[in-house]
Amino acid sequence: MQSRNDGDHVSLRSEMADFRVTAHPAVDTHSHRSHLTVLMCALLVLALGMASVFVLWTHRVDFERGFWLATVRGRAAVYARDRAVISGGWLFDRSRVPACPSLDAWPQPLPSHSSSSGHFRPSRALAAAHTCREANTAHQSVYWIIQQQEQLTGQRSSHFEWRVIDDPFSVTYRDQGQKKTLRGVIVTSVSARIAQSRRTASGKRPLIVCSSGLGEKMEYCNWLVAHVTAPLGWPTLVYDASGIAANVVSTGPMTRMSALSEEHDLTRVMQYALNLPWVDTHRIVLAGQSQGGLVSVRYAAQHPSHVWRLALEFPALNIPNLVRYAFPSQEVVPQYVGFMGFRLGRKYATDVWTWKPWDDAQHVDAPVLIEQGEADPIVDPAVSYRTVGSIPNARLVLIPHEKHGFSDEGRMTSAARIAQFLAASPGALTEKRQTVK
């Protein structure tokens, strides 16, 4: 074995020491502490900035503040008082709501309440008697709709067509100095036999006029109502209210839109519908969703002879309360307000400041059906509970687990109830009056 030459070779210990020095240079502890301090300061500044933005956003005088309080904080127990304010104090125990009858056994005559003088008086007893919880599934609702079409066409479901025809229309008028052009379509069935199914002896047909909610185009009414009711013999008129959403076919910006302007649009559309030669003016149905439900109730109260029945889905009669809850007075309403992510004008709040929709509801003579999601964070079920208790002849159906706007399953369930409600004979909707002392 050859011996190691100390003059020619560096000792193993020296080599290892040199390697450690080369591979792992000395750490500058002071520099690392400085970088860590800077990083912590930056994170602290970022956290303080985000907290400041959050505080300013949640406390600003804006309509968005009212909406935020009405939804996010609505899940907390402390918000019970605020929910009562926005819903008008009509919170109720949903666990005691009975199940709705089956579609074939519904609707039935309802007990109504009037004062000893014969005048209608809103009451919680009336609301409780006229409220039920949906027990049918979406599959059962679709099956019922197919059965109805089979009866109308005399054909099995595999042979008839679900397709519909869209006939466009437009209406132009001036509203508060602003020229508006409203556009929409009338949805009818392709089946001639279905088209004849609802005709009267005079050859005229009924018509549904559907008004959508804030931020929703007429397609929402189209799919939620028209594509089920039209194949069952109910032509449906759907339209875009001026400024109701972005990129609608009707003219007008969202900053000039309000529930009052949508009511004006509905009035003009109704004038157009009443002049259609084929429409039975004694059988016009108003359908309204969210804000569209609010304006439909007001129109029916002001024009009772024009409305045969009302079919409402999550009607937002709480909008005026929400406005007054968000702003202490009209003077503090800013030029632009935010609601549900939309930038709206000041008039959206001021136009409805003096509205009392539940007072309007007392003057609705037509039978009313309200479909309401039980988990709706925007229109609390208590809002519709008060609405059904404020209308002489109304029904409220709570759909379990459904939120604002309804899922596909909720849409079919609601549409089936609406179709049955419209097809019911007047006797099935006549109220059995009871006198309340």
Shortest CA distance to 358 belongs to which of 330, 382, 328?
382
**Cα 198 to Cα 239: distance, rounded to the nearest angstrom:** 23
Cβ-based burial of 328 (10 A; exposed 0-12, middle 13-18, buried ≥19): exposed
**Cα 294 to Cα 312: distance, rounded to the nearest angstrom:** 9
Cβ-based burial of 428 (10 A; exposed 0-12, middle 13-18, buried ≥19): middle
**CA neighbours within 13 Å on the CB side: how many for 29?**
0
Level-2 CATH architecture, domain 83-436: 3-Layer(aba) Sandwich (3.40)
pLDDT tens, per residue, the chain with 437 residues: 444 455 454 444 454 444 444 444 555 555 667 778 888 888 888 888 777 666 544 444 344 445 444 443 333 344 455 667 677 778 788 889 999 988 887 776 655 454 444 567 888 888 999 999 999 998 998 888 888 877 877 766 554 455 677 889 999 999 888 899 999 999 887 776 677 777 877 789 999 999 999 999 998 887 667 777 887 888 899 999 999 999 899 999 999 999 999 999 999 999 999 999 999 999 999 999 999 999 999 999 999 999 999 999 999 999 998 888 888 789 988 888 887 778 899 999 999 999 999 999 999 999 999 999 999 988 999 999 999 999 989 999 999 999 998 998 999 899 899 988 988 877 667 654 443 33
**Cα 231 to Cα 266: distance, rounded to the nearest angstrom:** 24
Strands 368-373 and 236-240: unpaired
**Cα 228 to Cα 222: distance, rounded to the nearest angstrom:** 9
Query: How many CB atoms are located within 10 Å of the residue 166 CB?
Result: 13
**Cα 19 to Cα 83: distance, rounded to the nearest angstrom:** 72
pLDDT tens readout for residues 37-81? 888 888 888 888 777 666 544 444 344 445 444 443 333 344 455
Query: How many CB atoms are located within 10 Å of the residue 183 CB?
Result: 17
pTM for this structure? 0.79
Helices within 24-132 (DSSP H only): 29-59, 63-71, 80-86, 124-129
**Cα 204 to Cα 276: distance, rounded to the nearest angstrom:** 10
The single-letter DSSP state of residue 72 is T
Q: Is 327 helix (H, G, I), strand (E, B) or coil?
A: coil
52-to-25, 55, 203, 211 alpha-carbon distances in Å:
44, 5, 66, 40
Task: Look at residue 408 in the predicted model and tell me its pLDDT.
Answer: 87
Per the DSSP assignment, residues forming a β-bridge with 397 are 132, 371
**Cα 56 to Cα 43: distance, rounded to the nearest angstrom:** 20
Q: Is 177 helix (H, G, I), strand (E, B) or coil?
A: coil
